[in-house]
Each structure stands twice: as structure tokens, then as C-alpha cells.
């Protein structure tokens, strides 16, 4: 007799199957674990996860059978999908009038004699395929085994839906990466284009104040000073923004061995500190292995902040290095500065987030330095956190993967 293989909602079902974009590889551990469990729980040697498409049935996982595809018109999984039964069972095909002349029942030791399949039904009631168990001799399932097979079929559907979500996430990630790259390029180009006009503004105000000082009253000079100050602040902001984007990938490559204390001494020389300050280096010097340029930029940012946000007569900065851990080096930069309020400590590593209106020199922060630090620390395989009290100072501790 001719067996039905076409469900009532076939057109919508086929669209649903295609929407999940499953690949045909049978090396997915999660799917293979389910067919292993299905065979184990039912004591039946073969188990398949089938996907029923328009003209063929293919198998995402196959336990106990060397099979990849089957003709849809002949597949028992296709019959299960077209059936209204919650579990499609044929205990002995050789005695069932529907299957007496079926070619799969006349295949010697590889004949399909017993079949039990539970449909893979998604949240929209589309039958995508089946989780089935197959034997080459007559068999049966008790109620507990049927329930187990149904539960496993639900897990297969969850895996299929998770696969679809992961595909969407990867697509979204690719789009965001592309847009982020375009945004970085735009920000970098705009910043570069703004640097020359700003430099001209600063130079022009200097010329005006120098050459025409006698012809401009005090109020006019104050206006020029304000223009210069604002231009310098904007120029500094642009330089920091460029640094953030240009150094975003720094630290992922080019690791080298170097003296930590020597690096610190070079950083201190670069800073050219003009305030009363004591910087205490680690008592013992160690060679560490990481990206030198990235670590230098991290320390420059942290020590600069310790200098800028300090209201004490003498700024004290303690720097420690702990190399005792097998996987990470830990570096701490501690100061006696103004401190950071507890409610603001979680925000300081976000781009453009600032704690204070101005620093000790009257300059406004732009909230770029610490976000750069966090990105660089992450590139070095580590994490950073802060411990701080208002009026007592701040301690920044970060790790670097060895």
C-alpha cells in the first residue's frame, strides 16, 4: 500500500526546516550524545536524528548505522512526520501489512524490522524530523522508554533552536564588527582632520597675545586665553581619542622579556613630573614576559591619573609586582590621592566616563584613559579592578597572563 509522507502543513514545515540552517555534519557531540542516550535507554542498537526535507531525509546523527541520507518516499521518518501519532511505532515490519513489500524490510541483516520515532516539533508546531530508534529484529518499548524518547526529542529541538540563535548572533557580530570598524575609521579621520585647525587656532592666539598685547585690553586677553585653553583641551581630547582607537589591538602580539623596574624608570622619565612626588618601585626587580609597549601605556595612564587626581602636599605612589602565581603576574598601582566614590567605581572603565570635573591642574578629564587601560589589560589576557576610599587614595590592581 502507498504510505503518506506529506503532512498537512508541508509548505510551512519546509520553510521552517530551511530556516534553521543546520549543517549536515555528523560530528556534533551534543547531537551524538542524544542518539547514544536514546539507544542506551531503549536498549535498541541504532538511533538516528533525522531532518525531513522536500525530497530526502538526512541524518544529523547516526548511532549504530552507517547512513547519511534516505529517499523521502521510503523513509520511516517521513512516515512518522506525516502521522498524527505522538510516537510512531512499528514493532515488526515483516508482519505489518503496510510494510510487507517495503524495500527496507528486505535488506538482509540490515533490514528495518523495528522502528520507533518521535517527531521533532518546534515552537510553531512544525515537524522538522524525528529522533528514532531502529532494530533489525522485532522489538517493543515500555511506557518509561517512550517517555524517555519524547524527552530526548525535546532536547534535540532545543539544540536545533540554539544553533539557529548562534547563527543569528554570529551574523550580528559580523555586522557590528564591520560597523565598528567603519566608526573607528570615521572617528580617526575626523580627529586627524581637526588637529591642524586646532593647532592653527592655538598658534594664532599666541601671536595675537604676543604681537598685539598693547592694543588689547585685559578682558580681550582673557578671551584669547580662554580660546587657547579650550583649544588645548580639545586637542588633548582628540589625541586621547586617537590613542584609544590606535592602541585598541595593542598587546595581542609581540611579547618579549624585559626588566619591570627598568620599564618603570623609563615611564617616570617620560612623565617629567613637576609636582612633589615619591614613586616607590618594587624592592626586587623581575623580568616579565608580555607586550612591553602595551604595559608601558597602561602604567603611563595609571601613574598620570595618580598625579593628576591628588590633593596632598606630597603625592605618594606605590607600585608592586607579584609573580608568585603560575598563570598570571599581578601589578598594583596605589596612591594617596582624592579617591573614587564607591558608586562611581564600576563606571570609571567605560569610555567617556569621568569621576571629577577637573584635575589638580584645572584640566577637565575626557574619560578615555582608563577605558584604554581596561582594553589593553584585556588584550594581555588579564583583568583590572579598583579599590578606593574618598580622601585616602586609590589602588588599581591588574593581571597579565604569563
Over residues 234-254, the pLDDT tens digits come to 776 666 666 666 666 566 667
pLDDT of residue 161: 94
Mean pLDDT of the chain: 88
pLDDT of residue 251: 62
Q: Is the pLDDT of residue 280 over 90?
A: yes
pLDDT of residue 101: 86
Higher pLDDT, 212 or 299: 299
Lowest mean pLDDT across 88-92, 324-328, 348-352, 393-397? 348-352
C-alpha cell at 298: 597602561
The residue ranges of every structural domain in the chain are 10-170, 251-401
Dist. CA 172–CA 378, nearest whole Å: 22
pLDDT of residue 248: 61
- At 33-72, the pLDDT tens digits run 999 999 999 999 999 999 999 999 999 999 999 999 999 9
Give 111's contacts (C-beta < 8 A, 6+ positions apart): 93, 94, 104, 105, 136
Give which of 246, 254, 188 is closest to 375, Cα–Cα: 246
- At 187-217, the pLDDT tens digits run 667 766 777 777 888 888 888 888 888 888 8
pLDDT of residue 330: 97
Mean pLDDT for the stretch of residues 286-310:
90
- At 325-384, the pLDDT tens digits run 999 999 999 999 999 988 888 888 887 666 665 667 666 666 677 888 998 899 899 999
Higher pLDDT, 110 or 49: 49
Dist. CA 238–CA 195, nearest whole Å: 8
SS (H, E, C) the chain: CCCCCCCCCHHHHHHHHHHCCCCCCCCCHHHHHHHHHHHHHHCCCEEEEEEECCCEEEEEEEECCCCCEEECCCCHHHHHHHCCCCCEEECCCCCCCCCCCCHHHCCHHHCCCEEEEEEEECCCCCEEEEEEEEECCCCCCCHHHHHHHHHHHHHHHHHHHHHHHHHHHHHHHHHHHHHHHHHHHHHHHHHHHHHHHHHHHHHHHHHHHHHCHHHCCHHHHHHHHHHHHHHHHHHHHHHHHHHHHHCCCCCCCCCEEEEHHHHHHHHHHHHCCCCCEEEECCCCCCEEEECHHHHHHHHHHHHHHHHHCCCCCCEEEEEEEECCCCCEEEEEEEECCCCCCHHHCCCCCCCCCCCCCCCCCCCCCCCCHHHHHHHHHHHCCCCEEEEEECCCEEEEEEEEEC
Mean pLDDT for the stretch of residues 155-178:
91
pLDDT of residue 225: 83
Mean pLDDT for the stretch of residues 122-146:
96
* CATH for 251-401, options being 3.40.50.720, 3.40.50.1100, 3.30.565.10, 1.10.1740.10: 3.30.565.10
- At 137-159, the pLDDT tens digits run 999 999 999 999 999 999 999 99
Overall CATH class of domain 10-170: alpha beta
Q: Do residues 372 and 297 touch, judged by C-beta distance below 8 A?
A: yes
Higher pLDDT, 306 or 243: 306
Share of the chain above pLDDT 90, in %: 57
**170-174, 253-257, 381-385: which is most confident:** 381-385
pLDDT of residue 356: 62
pLDDT of residue 233: 66
Amino acid at each position: 500500500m502507498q504510505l503518506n509522507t506529506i503532512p498537512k502543513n508541508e509548505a510551512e514545515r519546509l520553510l521552517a526546516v530551511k530556516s534553521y540552517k543546520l549543517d549536515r555534519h555528523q560530528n556534533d557531540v551534543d547531537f551524538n550524545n542524544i542518539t547514544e542516550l536514546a539507544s542506551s535507554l531503549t536498549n535498541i542498537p541504532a538511533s538516528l536524528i533525522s531532518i525531513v526535507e522536500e525530497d530526502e531525509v538526512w541524518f544529523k546523527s547516526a548511532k549504530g548505522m552507517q547512513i547519511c541520507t534516505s529517499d523521502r518516499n521510503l523513509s520511516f521518518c517521513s512516515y512518522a512526520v506525516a502521522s498524527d501519532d505522538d510516537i510512531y511505532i512499528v514493532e515488526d515490519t515483516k508482519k505489518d501489512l503496510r510494510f510487507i513489500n517495503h524495500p527496507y524490510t528486505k535488506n538482509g541483516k540490515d533490514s528495518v524490522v523495528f522502528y520507533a520515532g518521535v517527531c521533532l516539533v518546534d515552537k510553531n508546531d512544525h515537524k522538522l524530523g524525528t529522533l528514532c530508534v531502529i532494530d533489525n529484529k522485532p522489538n517493543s518499548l515500555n511506557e518509561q522508554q517512550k517517555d524517555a524518547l519524547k524527552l530526548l526529542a525535546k532536547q534535540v529541538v532545543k539544540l536545533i533552536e540554539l544553533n539557529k540563535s548562534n547563527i543569528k548572533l554570529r551574523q550580528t557580530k559580523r555586522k557590528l564588527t564591520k560597523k565598528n570598524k567603519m566608526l573607528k575609521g570615521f572617528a580617526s579621520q575626523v580627529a586627524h582632520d581637526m588637529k591642524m585647525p586646532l593647532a592653527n587656532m592655538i598658534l594664532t592666539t599666541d601671536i595675537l597675545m604676543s604681537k598685539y598685547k598693547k592694543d588689547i585690553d585685559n578682558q580681550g586677553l582673557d578671551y584669547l586665553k580662554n580660546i587657547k585653553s579650550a583649544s588645548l583641551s580639545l586637542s588633548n581630547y582628540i589625541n586621547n581619542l586617537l590613542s584609544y582607537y590606535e592602541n585598541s589591538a595593542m598587546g595581542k602580539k609581540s611579547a618579549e622579556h624585559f626588566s619591570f623596574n627598568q620599564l618603570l624608570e623609563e615611564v617616570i622619565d617620560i612623565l617629567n613630573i613637576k609636582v612633589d612626588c615619591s614613586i616607590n618601585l618594587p624592592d626586587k626587580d623581575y623580568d616579565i614576559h608580555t607586550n612591553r609597549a602595551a604595559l608601558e601605556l597602561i602604567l603611563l595612564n595609571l601613574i598620570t591619573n595618580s598625579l593628576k587626581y591628588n590633593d596632598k602636599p606630597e603625592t605618594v605612589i606605590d607600585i608592586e609586582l607579584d609573580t608568585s602565581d603560575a598563570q598570571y603576574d599581578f601589578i598594583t598601582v596605589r596612591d594617596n590621592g582624592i579617591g573614587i566614590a564607591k558608586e562611581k567605581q564600576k563606571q570609571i572603565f567605560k569610555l567617556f566616563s569621568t569621576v571629577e570635573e577637573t584635575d589638580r591642574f584645572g584640566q577637565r578629564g575626557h574619560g578615555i584613559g582608563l577605558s584604554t587601560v581596561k582594553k589593553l589589560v584585556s588584550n594581555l589576557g588579564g583583568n583590572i579592578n579598583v579599590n578606593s576610599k574618598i580622601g585616602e587614595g586609590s589602588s588599581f590592581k591588574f593581571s597579565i597572563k604569563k
